[in-house]
Structure 1
Amino acid sequence: MTDKQKLFVDEYLKCMNVTRAYKKVYKNVRSDSVARSAGNRLLSKPDVKAYKEQRVQEIHDENTADIQEVMEYLTAVMRGEQKDEVLTMDGDIELLRSNTKERNKAAELLAKSYGAFEKNVNLSIEVPVFTGESDLED
C-alpha cells in the first residue's frame, strides 16, 4: 500500500467524502466523476479496506471514553468536583460547581451502573398437568 493511498484513507475518514478526499491527495485529478470512481475503486481494494478499518478502530480507541473514564466523570460531578463555566452579568466567565439536579442525576446514573435499583423478583409457578384428558366428554 502506498503512502498516497494511506493519505487518501486518512482524508476520507476526516471528511467522509470520496471525491473530496481523492482530489485532495491526487491533485492532478480535476473531474469529480473521475475522482469519485477512482476513490471508490481504491476503497474496495482489500489492503486499503483493511487499513481503513484499522484507522477507524484507532480513532475509536483514541476518542471514545471507556467505562472507567465515564465512572470517574460521574463521580466528580456527583461530588461537586466538576466545574461548569457560567457567563456572569458582567460578561465574565465564572466556574461554578454542578448544581444539585446535575449531581443527583450523576448519582442516579452511578447507582444504576452498580445495580442499586434492580428489583429481583423470583416467581415459581407450577402449571397443572391433566392426565386422561382424552376420556372426558365435550
Structure 2
Amino acid sequence: MKLTPKQQKFADEYIKSGNATESARLSGYKQPHVQGSQNLEKLSVKTYIDERMAEIKSKRVMGYTEAVEILTSIARGELKETVVVGTPIGVEEVKKEADLKTRISALKEIMKRYPGNDKLVEQQIRKLSAEADIAEANAREVTDNGTANEIRIIGFDRKAELDERSETS
C-alpha cells in the first residue's frame, strides 16, 4: 500500500521526533493525538518507518568497502590529520599526512582482508630480509680502505674454496 502525502509527512516527522502527536500536528491532522496513534497502527505507515529507520541506521554504520577506502587513503598519505604545533608566536594547527608507522599499520590491515596474498607477501618480506642481511654482512667485511677482505657468494665462502684449491695444487 502506498502512503498518502499526509501519512508520509507524518512518518517522516515521526522519524525525526519520535512523538506521534507532534508529528500528526505538523502533518496537518485535525486531531493529532488520535490520528497520530492511529497512523502508527497502520501497517503501511509502520513498514515505511521501519524501512527508513533501517536505511538511516545503515548509513551510520561503516561498511567494509568504506573501511578499506579509508585505510587506503591513510596508506597513500591522502588523508591528513590536524596537529597542534608550537611556534615562536604561539600555537598553530597544521595538516599532515600519517607517519610511516601509521601507514604501515593501515597497509597491514588492508592485507588482512586479502588472505590469498599472505604467502606471496610473506615470501617477498623473507627475500628482502635475506637480501638486507647479506648486504649488512658484506658491509661488515669491508676494511677501512674500502676493499673486501674476502669474496662471498650467497651461501658459499669463495675464499675458503680458493684456499683449498691452492693447497691441493
Q: Residue 2 of structure 1: CA displacement?
A: 2.0
Query: Which has the larger share of helix?
Result: 2
Q: Percent identity?
A: 29
Cα deviations by residue, 1:51-101 (Å, 9 ceiling, x for unpaired): 223323444565655433321211111222111133444565421112345
Q: Does 1:86 align with 2:79?
A: no
Q: Does 1:106 align with 2:113?
A: no
Q: TM-score, normalised by structure 2?
A: 0.50
SS at structure 2 position matched to 1:39: helix
1:41, 1:91 → 2: CA distance? Answer: 59
SS at structure 1 position matched to 2:77: coil
SS at structure 2 position matched to 1:69: helix
In the other structure, the counterpart of 1:53 is 50
Question: Residue type matched to 1:78 in 2?
Answer: A
Match of 2:18 among 16, 19, 22: 16
SS at structure 1 position matched to 2:78: coil
1:22, 1:91 → 2: CA distance? Answer: 52
Q: What 5-or-longer segments of structure 2 have no aligned partner?
A: 120-169
The 1:43/1:82 distance shift into structure 2, 3 A limit, reads same
Q: What 5-or-longer segments of structure 1 have no aligned partner?
A: 118-138
Matches within 5 A, 1:93-132: 93-115=93-115, 116=118
Higher relative contact order (CA 8 A, sep 6+): 1
Larger radius of gyration: 2
Once superposed, what is the RMSD of the aligned Cα atoms? 3.2
1:38, 1:113 → 2: CA distance? Answer: 51
Match of 1:73 among 70, 91, 95: 70
The number of residue pairs the alignment matches comes to 112
